[in-house]
Structure 1
Amino acid sequence: MECAVVVATVGGPWLADQLTALAAQEMPPTEVIVVNNGAPGAIDETAAAFRGLLPQLTVREDNTRRGAAYARNVGAGAAAAPGILFVDDDDVISTNYVAEMGLALDRADLVSARIRLDMLNPPRLTRGWEGLHESGPMDYFDFLPWTFGGALGCRREVFERTGGFDPDLLTTEDVDFCWRAQLDHGVAFAYVPEATVNYRLRAEPGAAFRQSLAWGEGQAGLYRRYRDRGLRAPSQLRAAARWARSAQLLLSARNRIDLAVAARHAGSRVGRLRGSVRYRCLFL
């Protein structure tokens, strides 16, 4: 299946790495749509440098609403290909990515790539993420499978039928999209281990904490949204073990990488607590 690739960005420092990977694809995408959701002109210089390497590249600027969900919807709405692949601006896809994901979309409505952490991250930073996406889509919530928005592909009709990503969600919009597609539309979800996303973790403690804080709060919102459809909150024992693990990581940290790992764990815990208050539910 021919595919368009949608890249949501605010002009981050690694966009050129992802565009380089797109230019090196064994089977080039029919369209590459980069949606600048940040300051006007933030990616003009980077995009101009790739005009020769990616003649199918177009840039859309739209910060009417902020967030990856809104930006991805803008990009998908501008795409004409029957398949849509969403990638993030701070990751790097394998050279066979478009070919393998497009082939998978000939058979399935919704597809998830494999995620690798060893290419872009020092080994100590990946603690707690071992085995991520190695044998299938994420099952972190012990509910329905899902995948990160940067490793997701779908058929155009599926995107349109589900209404796209929910722009009210600033995080976990990818989880919500995958679950709505399965619950409301009976979409078949396939795993594509041949297609790889090299995923970049936050290596600075402050950035890691802020990202996980937002994720944790969003997870509580997901629970509020899906608890009547089968999503269960972690047991008190499991929640306590996670808090203890966060404390252990913080106390044993010896360098900035250790602190980033501890901050990632702590941010998730604090975020879930804050989300439980915000959404008036208990999801720790």
Structure 2
Amino acid sequence: MRLATIRTGDSTVAVRVDNPDTATTIDGYRDLSSLLTNHDWATIAADADGASVELSSADYAPVLPRPGKIICVGLNYRSHIAEMGRDLPAFPTLFAKFPEALTGPYDDVVVPEYAASQLDWEAELAVVIGHRAYQVPAAHAAAHIAGYTVINDYTMRDYQYRTTQWDQGKTFEKTSGFGPHLVTDYQLGTAIEARLDGELMQSAKTDDLVFPPDQLVSYISHIVSLAPGDVIITGTTGGVGHARTPPRYISDGQTVEVSIDGIGAVKNTTRVK
């Protein structure tokens, strides 16, 4: 099943995507963040019989506009760890992104000029929690996952490396394209790619993760409860601009597309102001 959040004037609505052309509104739920708070969200979505929505003209909001928590994982693809000159980690490297950093999968990303000198792309698979998880064994973690989606962990490298803590370079306002769909039956192992104005920059498979989703859910849930609608961003693969010789960065007017086969793609154009 595929789900999304669509903008409708001054509001939004949760929808079930029925085919590439049409979706059905899930009446009573303004977005997927509110839908996932209902324990029976999957049945409600599958049985929805609301209005039909033409997707060719749909305005997609961030697939989950209001996550309670966004937990990011650094250095989790073997290829990215190698290009950064680091050893494989024994434990996940965790940091936070705030909900204000999210934007729609096709929205422009507006970057303040003072933060625009080292803009970088990061293609990432995001895990969305469907049922509360606390101290969950890895063997049972899959039952707590609602599904998967796409995000560009858009990064201001100069801000990121001002200190040893990364958050400040990862959570600028409305810079992370998120969506377009939440896919409930996605299986790891498909292609994940990032393209800059059509040029391939990152290419890997989503099963190259050091810590896969079930391990991440288990590990994080032994630190803090994961609630329905929380998001885990699983890390990026090799090919980021900052690790190139010479470095490559995103310029004003350039478009980054992040895609995962079996889920979809986000495509955001940078506007420096």
Structure of greater relative contact order (alpha carbons < 8 Å, 6+ residues apart): 2
TM norm structure 1? 0.26
Say which one has the larger Rg: 1
Greater helix content: 1
